[in-house]
């Protein structure tokens, strides 16, 4: 399918009367301006990202909801941690009023989070600290309260009718066996229009939810609108995007609604827009079948992390992890351990258990050091648990800044409120169940803490960019208790060895340099530095590794 940029037929400013708070929607064409990046060249090749849910990060105005000003106030914390990239979950006005994936306006910010000026201030302050900002961009569907959808749903004669997928009768794509397959089809995807838009006609397709009608991405007008909306944000200085749910973009019946062969062409249309600007970054959410998209988009290695965690619990490197590392395209696939979606997994603390900090730390070391652009999830660096339930809301609890419990009075009654330093009032959602012990304040400066361990690993990455850009060589095989690999460029060679077992290990690795002394680049905050290692005349080096430990050996050229 050939996609053309559609500009001429869309007025420079078009508004839709929909009778909602977001009735006026800008669908004008947007030219690419401000193409220069505010960040150092190639920052996106080595960036250490963290994913942040603005609603759950930091409340600045005492309404119990996180906001841009609160996020801005914590940028120094993120910089000191070693973060050089932020991925924001959707920050647009949304029908869901929470997670943001039912977008009602692609060119506005959620008023719960503040104003556009607040967002621009956050972006500017992040750039001052050398931190790039990518934002979630939802391209498969909009919100059911989006004024474009409301106009399209009201009448078959709407000029926007073909921006979505409508039918006069149900085509019969659904059966009970498809329930939950690939994270969708929890109910019949064809929904009666009148149930969401009174007086509307027909059925509309919404693969995820009633509030999320699928866009018709075979319509070049829709592609052009989304491309223009991307330019809207990049013209403000946004450094890239995470494309949501690219596995669901095109549908040809129940046999071809997931990973349709035409999906990469759609993604390419969005990548072309990102490439109009300097130094930007694009990554796709691909729950399964990421190999279909790697020619047009970086994609998370979702699924591999589950085998990594399971292997660490057994003290070995799983074969699926080895297969992933043997893929020459591994640097296009960040090995993230967590995300805002429950299908990726529960919070790591809940997976490893209360006595699992050592396993937690080596999992973090693998994730951060094997990925050219690692992605963490807010609170991962302190061992945040879920909020009491393993589901999407449960793993999106407010950030645990302190162990603070507030006392609030109402008349003669005093109530204790678990605020976790997130807000001065009761948070909109319960905090993590372990906030009293696992929080930033209590872990800062504690050499045994997960937080200080993360800081040390990020510091090694910063000191040795070769860990992201150097030639990769795997030095381990499936079932080994130690994961070892090297990275080499013209300046230095780095050998990483991670013992995931509970026993002392002695391994021989190919250091890549002969008769050389290799210094230790990493020191665990709560342990003595390991001794230097010397390679022999064939380049082999013997490494002694304590249980659940990491060594990073460096030789300058």
- pLDDT exceeds cutoff 70 at 365: yes
Q: What angle do CA 106, 108, 110 make, to 5 degrees?
A: 105
Structure-block tokens of residue 216? 């018709």
Residue carrying the six token digits 């699926």: 320
- Beta strand pairing call for 413-418 and 482-488: unpaired
Q: What pLDDT shows up at residue 183?
A: 66
- This prediction has a pTM of 0.94
Indicate the CATH number for domain 147-205.
Answer: 3.90.400
Structure-block tokens of residue 217? 């991405």
Indicate the CATH number for domain 469-556.
Answer: 2.60.40.1180
1-28 residue pLDDT tens: 333 333 333 333 344 433 333 346 789 9
Contact (CB, 8 A) for 424 and 406: yes
424-482 residue pLDDT tens: 999 999 999 999 999 999 999 999 999 999 999 999 999 999 999 999 999 999 999 99
83-128 residue pLDDT tens: 999 999 999 999 999 999 999 999 999 999 999 999 999 999 999 9
Compute the average pLDDT of residues 51-69. Answer: 98
Structure-block tokens of residue 181? 């397959």
Nearest residue to 272 (alpha-carbon basis) of 314, 303, 251, 241: 241
Check if CATH label 3.20.20.80 holds for domain 1-144+220-300. Answer: yes
**Other Cβ atoms within 10 Å of 38 Cβ, number:** 18
Domain boundaries, the chain: 1-144+220-300, 147-205, 469-556
Q: What pLDDT shows up at residue 182?
A: 67
Burial of 52 (0-12, 13-18, 19+ CB in 10 A): buried
Helices (H), 353-494: 357-370, 440-443, 450-463, 466-469
Q: Which long-range contacts (CB under 8 A, 24 or more apart) does 533-540 make?
A: 535/511, 538/514, 539/510, 539/511, 539/512, 539/513, 539/514, 540/508, 540/509, 540/510, 540/511
Q: What pLDDT shows up at residue 427?
A: 97
274-314 residue pLDDT tens: 999 999 999 999 999 999 999 999 999 999 999 999 999 99
């Amino acid at each position: 399918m050939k996609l053309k940029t559609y500009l001429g037929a869309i007025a420079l400013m078009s508004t839709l009367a929909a009778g909602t708070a977001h009735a006026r929607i800008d669908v004008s064409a947007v030219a690419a301006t401000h193409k220069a990046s505010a960040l150092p060249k190639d920052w996106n090749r080595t960036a250490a990202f963290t994913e942040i849910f603005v609603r759950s990060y930091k409340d600045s105005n005492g309404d119990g909801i996180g906001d841009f000003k609160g996020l801005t106030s914590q940028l120094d914390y993120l910089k000191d941690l070693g973060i050089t990239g932020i991925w924001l979950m959707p920050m647009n006005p949304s029908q869901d009023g929470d997670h943001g994936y039912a977008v009602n306006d692609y060119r506005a910010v959620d008023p719960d989070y503040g104003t556009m000026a607040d967002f621009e201030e956050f972006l500017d302050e992040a750039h001052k600290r050398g931190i790039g900002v990518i934002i979630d961009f939802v391209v498969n569907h909009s919100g059911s309260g989006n004024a474009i959808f409301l106009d399209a749903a009201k009448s078959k004669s709407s000029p926007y009718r073909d921006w979505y997928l409508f039918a006069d009768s149900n085509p019969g794509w659904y059966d009970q066996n498809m329930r939950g397959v690939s994270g969708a089809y929890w109910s019949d995807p064809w929904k009666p229009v009148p149930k969401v838009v009174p007086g509307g006609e027909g059925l509309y397709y919404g693969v995820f939810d009633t509030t999320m009608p699928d866009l018709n991405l075979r319509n070049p007008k829709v592609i052009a609108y989304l491309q223009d909306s991307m330019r809207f944000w990049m013209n403000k200085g946004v450094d890239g995007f995470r494309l949501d749910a690219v596995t669901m973009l095109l549908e040809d019946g129940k046999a071809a609604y997931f990973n349709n062969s035409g999906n990469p062409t759609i993604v390419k249309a969005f990548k072309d827009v990102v490439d109009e600007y300097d130094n930007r970054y694009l990554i796709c959410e691909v729950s399964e079948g990421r190999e279909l998209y790697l020619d047009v988009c970086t994609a998370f290695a979702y699924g591999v992390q589950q085998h990594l965690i399971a292997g660490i619990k057994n003290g070995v490197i799983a074969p699926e992890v080895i297969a992933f590392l043997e893929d020459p395209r591994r640097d296009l696939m960040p090995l993230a351990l967590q995300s805002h979606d429950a299908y990726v997994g529960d919070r790591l603390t809940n997976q490893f258990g209360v006595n699992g900090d050592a396993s937690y730390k080596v999992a973090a070391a693998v994730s951060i050091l094997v990925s050219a652009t690692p992605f963490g999830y807010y609170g991962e660096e302190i061992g945040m648990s879920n909020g009491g339930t393993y589901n999407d809301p449960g793993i999106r609890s407010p950030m645990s800044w302190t162990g603070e419990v507030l006392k609030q009075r109402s008349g003669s009654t005093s109530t204790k409120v678990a605020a976790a330093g997130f807000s001065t009032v009761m948070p909109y959602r319960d905090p993590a169940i372990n906030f009293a012990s696992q929080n930033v304040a209590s872990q800062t400066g504690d050499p045994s803490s997960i937080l200080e361990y993360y800081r040390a690993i990020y510091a090694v990455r910063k000191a040795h960019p070769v860990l992201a850009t150097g030639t990769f060589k795997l030095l381990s095989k499936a079932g080994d208790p130690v994961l070892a690999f090297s990275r080499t460029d013209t300046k230095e060679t780095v050998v990483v060895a991670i013992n995931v077992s509970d026993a002392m290990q002695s391994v021989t690795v190919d250091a890549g340099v002969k008769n050389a002394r290799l210094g230790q680049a990493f020191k665990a905050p709560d342990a003595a530095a390991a001794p230097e290692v010397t390679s022999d005349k064939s380049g082999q080096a013997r490494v002694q590794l304590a249980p659940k430990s990491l060594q990073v050996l460096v030789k300058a050229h």
